[in-house]
Amino acid sequence: MLDNLRWDNLVDLINDPPYLVMELMRGGSLNNYMPSLSSKERKDLAKILIFYVGNALKSLHDRGIVHSDIKPSNILLSSSPSSDSLVTKIINGQIKVKLGDLGSAVKKGESALTYSLYSSFDQMVSVAMTSMKNPNVTKLGVFPEDDVYAFGSTLYFLVNQKVLNNVNIYGNNVDIDKWVAKNYDRFRQVNSSNFFTVYNDVMNEALELCEHREVTTDRSQLDELILMMVNCDKRKRPSIDEILRRASSL
Ligand SMILES: Nc1ncnc2c1ncn2[C@@H]1O[C@H](COP(=O)(O)OP(=O)(O)O)[C@@H](O)[C@H]1O
Ligand SMILES: [Mg+2]
């Protein structure tokens, strides 16, 4: 599937199983730069990333592929900025930004191979369901809307310096990894008579967690777009085409 994936803003990849060899991005990931950026620079960078990472994502989505691991450590820079500002160098083309790590990419609708703190809660359920042994039950898969969520929560982190998926219910912080692990066990033990009950319970919990994120916003146009991308209802998230259209007027 990953043959012929050589497009602009996607890290060049040589598919030679069992290894995925990627182009070396000498600037490392976005994580290296975020701490040193001012609030204004972080917002400017977010707007540029919507364009560059968004176009990389569009190439995947147009081909029915879901990246499924968008997060700051998978957004890579071709070189490190020295004195000049990072944002200026990206705008004038001296530094290239690419979306890397296609190791988790799957076809639209297939089960997710992985999740991160930036993933949608649906994607976490998709991973948990891979423990099911019953081949007759259709498992929840991942979709372009799940990439849009992860892209939005990555941008949210960049702009606000806070992880969006920090969930707090009645004063208690929820350990998301533990929740996924618990569901992995629940789905492993499920049988055909209790499948729908378990599935509905887990999906309701996923929605409850999503609704208890601690979201802050300054209601700028950029913020509004990011919040649309991380809507708990995947049907309300904009497509990548819609995101690119809106980004042109930010
Ligand atoms: N193609 C690449 N070029 C340069 N640095 C990379 C590349 N891919 C990954 N890295 C760096 O290696 C680190 C580890 O990457 P990885 O194993 O994919 O784990 P993760 O993305 O979960 O942090 C990343 O945070 C990034 O800084
Ligand atoms: Mg990575």
Domain boundaries, the chain: 13-247
- With a 6 Å cutoff on the Cβ, whether 102 touches ligand 1 is no
Ligand nearest to the CA of 25: 1
Among residues 151, 215, 147, 209, which one has the least CA distance to residue 180? 209
- Tell how strand 65-66 and strand 28-29 pair up: unpaired
Window from 7-11, 32-36, 43-47, 128-132 with minimum mean pLDDT: 7-11
Window from 3-17, 31-45, 65-79, 110-124 with minimum mean pLDDT: 3-17
Q: Any idea what the Cα angle at residue 12 is, between residues 245 and 30, rounded to 5°?
A: 65
Alpha carbon distance 72, 23 (integer Å)? 17
18-30 pLDDT, tens digit each = 566 678 889 999 9
pLDDT of res. 1: 47
43-56 pLDDT, tens digit each = 999 999 999 999 99
Alpha carbon distance 228, 226 (integer Å)? 5
Confidence band (pLDDT; 50, 70, 90) for 170? confident
- CB burial of 81-111 (b: ≥16 within 10 Å; e: otherwise) equals beeeebbebbeeeebbbbbbbbbbbbebebb
Distances in whole angstroms, Cα of residue 98 to Cα of each of 12, 26, 48, 220, 246:
9, 12, 12, 26, 21
Tokens of 120: 């949608």
Flag whether pLDDT at 242 surpasses 50.
yes
Domain at 13-247, CATH homologous superfamily: Transferase(Phosphotransferase) domain 1 (1.10.510.10)
Q: Which atom of ligand 1 is nearest to the CA of 23?
A: 1
Window from 5-19, 23-37, 87-101, 103-117 with minimum mean pLDDT: 5-19
Pocket test for ligand 1, best of 5, 10, 73, 115 (most atoms within 8 A of CB): 73
- With a 6 Å cutoff on the Cβ, whether 73 touches ligand 1 is yes
